[in-house]
C-alpha cells in the first residue's frame, strides 16, 4: 500500500485535503469518489504528482510530452495508427517510455483500442489523457486529440493552476 496526499471537493463543495492508503493512484481516486469527493489533485505522499496536473514537471512528464508530440506529428502526416506507434516506439526505445509505447503498438495491432491500451499504462497517462483519447476514437479525430493534449501539456498557465489552493 502507498500513501497518497489528495485535495478534493466534498459533497458540499468544500475544499478538503488529507491522505489515503491505496495500492495505486486509481484505487486511491476511486476510494475518494466512493466517499463522495471530487479529487482535484493527488500525489504520492513521498513525492511528485501522479494525477490531475502531473503534466507540469518531472521525467515522466517529459516522456509523455515526447510521446504526444511524436504521435501528433505522425498522425497529422496521415500515418496509420499502428505505424505511428511503431515509429514512436523506435524513437523512444532508449527511454523509459520505449517499452510502454511498444506495448501500446502491440495491443492496437492485435485489435485493441488505443484508449484501452493507454489506460493500462497508468505510470505515464492519467485519466484525463485516457478520456481524451477515448473521445477522439469515438469521433474519429485522433490527430486532433493529440493536438489538444499537446497544447494542454505545453500550456505555461498550468503552473498557475497548481497554486490555486
The set of cell numbers assigned to 134 is 477515448
CA distances 104 to 2, 88, 113, 142, Å, are 26, 10, 9, 15
pTM above 0.75, yes or no: no
Domain boundaries defined on the chain: 2-44, 59-154
Q: Model confidence over 118-153: pLDDT tens digits?
A: 988 877 888 888 889 999 999 989 999 888 888 876
Mean pLDDT of 150-158: 62
Higher pLDDT: 131 or 44? It is 131
Dist CA 50 CA 152 (whole Å): 16
59-154 classified as CATH 1.20.81.30: yes
Buried b (16+ CB within 10 A) or exposed e, 5-19: bbbbeeeeeeeeeee
Burial of 2 (0-12, 13-18, 19+ CB in 10 A): middle
Mean pLDDT of 65-80: 91
Amino acid at each position: 500500500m502507498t500513501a497518497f496526499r489528495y485535495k478534493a471537493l466534498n459533497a458540499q463543495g468544500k475544499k478538503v485535503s488529507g491522505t489515503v492508503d491505496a495500492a495505486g493512484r486509481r484505487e486511491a481516486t476511486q476510494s475518494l469518489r466512493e466517499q463522495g469527493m471530487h479529487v482535484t489533485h493527488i500525489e504520492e505522499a513521498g513525492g511528485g504528482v501522479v494525477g490531475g496536473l502531473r503534466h507540469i514537471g518531472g521525467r515522466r512528464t517529459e516522456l509523455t510530452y515526447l510521446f504526444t508530440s511524436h504521435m501528433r506529428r505522425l498522425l497529422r502526416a496521415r500515418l496509420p495508427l499502428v505505424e505511428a506507434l511503431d515509429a514512436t516506439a523506435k524513437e523512444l526505445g532508449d527511454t523509459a517510455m520505449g517499452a510502454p509505447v511498444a506495448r501500446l503498438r502491440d495491443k492496437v495491432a492485435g485489435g485493441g483500442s488505443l484508449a484501452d491500451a493507454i489506460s493500462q499504462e497508468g505510470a505515464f497517462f492519467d485519466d484525463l489523457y485516457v478520456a481524451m483519447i477515448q473521445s477522439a476514437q469515438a469521433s474519429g479525430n485522433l490527430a486532433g486529440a493529440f493536438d489538444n493534449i499537446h497544447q494542454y501539456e505545453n500550456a505555461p498557465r498550468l503552473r498557475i493552476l497548481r497554486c490555486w489552493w
